[in-house]
Structure 1
Amino acid sequence: MPPAAGADYSAKKDEELVPLILLDPELYRHLMARHEERLVRYVSRISGLGRDDAEDVAQEALIKAYRNLADFDTSLKFTSWLYRIAHNETMSHFRRLKARPQVVRSDQEDDVDLAAWVAVDPDYPGHLDRHLAAQEIRDALGRLDEKYREVLVLRYLEERDYQEISDILRKPMGTVATLLNRAKASLRQVLAAGESNKKRDQQTI
């Protein structure tokens, strides 16, 4: 039986909408409206792609999700399943180009998120300036190995929990925890090196 005409779908969870969309594909627009913009931001954050290219990759992910909706794994959050598809589409994009993801892009909101994270992170080295410019933090993030960059983006910018990251990356939670620890250690090293170089440059002026 198709969904009732004029029904209010805004209060329904993603997972509740999926079976309704299988009955009435037109309802997929509700999921697109919810997730399209954030998916574009995620693709851009992990890849360094500009807005237009990130939109193209996100659109491909949304199309692939629609085509495979009947195979949606109900043990997952819909967003985890969708982000997994977006991750795979992003990696496929660079494989086709025979290239690697570039320096991470960011916007003003990301700057605030990154700076706030460094300010409260208990693992952040106390001898470093906790008020490092967000631009420096972003540049350091962009110099990390892509596997470290993505896990930091998922945890601190996308605010995904360990289970969601595990589902998106298809890695055990223990591996996710290890990746996060290594990613944070790597970022701290890059930031410390940058701070040291900046002080040395100031002394030579």
Structure 2
Amino acid sequence: MSGEAKSIARGLQRRDPDLLDRLIEQYQYRLFRYLIYITGNKERAEDFFQETWIRVLERGHQYNGKSKFEAWLFAIARNLVIDWQRSKKAQSLDTLTDPEQEHPLQLADENDPSPLRQVLSQEAEESVQASLQRIPAIYREVLVLRFQEELQIDEMAGVLSIPLSTVKSRLYRGLEALRGALQGGAAA
């Protein structure tokens, strides 16, 4: 258990409001972006975002610091979406995403690139976003966790509650499906 994880675990057990404020400040953008990706809907993502932080406050005593806080946080968010999906009798995460609805927010580049570079970058990002929407949700989810949220493979396994080998397999297949979607082919 790292010193930071241990400190977070103790703070959550004490229900330290300053710690919660710091955690929200640190993880709000990543969590919200993740929720937009898995729900495909900004308003729904906002609801899950709030509910996730309520759960962190209510169940903070359950965080033991054995895993990274962000993995625990993302697992809470994912489980909330899955619970909602089950209550709506949805078939899969694919039913939560509709390519016709809003896409994730485009964040400005901190380096302030030239307008041409901005346009080229935006076109590439839009192409990747559109391609991500065309691949199956189980692959899209691992790609977002790995490359957007920068989780390690073992952390992804914890968030998704699946074996390490399954994460690796989905990651490989997801990259292949994304490559095919980017080249204009049908996702497998």
Identity %: 30
CA shift at 1:187, angstroms? 1.6
Counterpart of 1:3 in structure 2 is none
Query: C-alpha offsets along residues 133-189 of structure 1, whole Å, 9 cap, x if unaligned?
Result: 332221111021111110000111111111221121122222211110011111222
Of 24, 27, 43, which aligns to 1:35?
Answer: 27
Once the two structures are superposed, the pairs formed by residues 3-14 of structure 1 within 5 Å of their partners are 13-14=4-5
- Aligned mates of 2:23, 2:130 — CA distance in 1: 33
2:67 aligns with 76
Structure 2 CA distance for aligned equivalents of residues 63 and 102 of structure 1:
24
Question: Is 1:173 the equivalent of 2:164?
Answer: yes
TM-score with structure 1 setting the length = 0.69
- Write the deviation string for residues 2-28 of structure 1: whole angstroms up to 9, x where unpaired: xxxxxxxxxx83541331332344332
Query: CA separation of 1:134/1:17 partners in 2, compared to 1, >3 Å: closer, same or farther?
Result: closer
Aligned mates of 1:29, 1:171 — CA distance in 2: 31
User: Within the alignment, does 1:49 sit opposite 2:49 as a pair?
Assistant: no
Give the 3 Å change call, closer, same or farther, for CA 34–137 of structure 1 in structure 2: closer
Q: Secondary structure at the match of 1:68?
A: helix
Partner of 1:63: 54
Q: Secondary structure at the match of 1:58?
A: helix
SS in 1 for 2:96: coil
Counterpart secondary structure, 2:184: helix
**Contact map agreement 1:15 1:78 (CA 8 A) in 2:** no
Correspondence 1:91 to 2:82: yes
d(CA) in 2 for partners of 1:34 and 1:24? Answer: 17
The correspondence for 2:97, drawn from 96, 99, 102, is: 102
**Alpha-carbon deviation of 1:194?**
4.8
How far apart are residue 55 of structure 1 and its match?
1.6
Task: Let me know the Cα RMSD of the aligned residues.
Answer: 2.7
Structure 2, unmatched stretches of 5+, are: 110-122
Larger radius of gyration: 1
**Take 2:133 and 2:166, find their aligned partners in 1: how far apart are those partners?**
22
Normalised to the residue count of structure 2, the TM-score between the two structures is 0.75
1:40 CA displacement: 1.2
1:16 aligns with 2:7: yes
Listed one character per residue, the Cα deviations across residues 102-134 of structure 1 (whole Å, up to 9, x for unaligned) are 1472233499xxxxxxxxxxxxxxxxxxxx733
Aligned to 1:16, the other structure's residue is in SS state helix
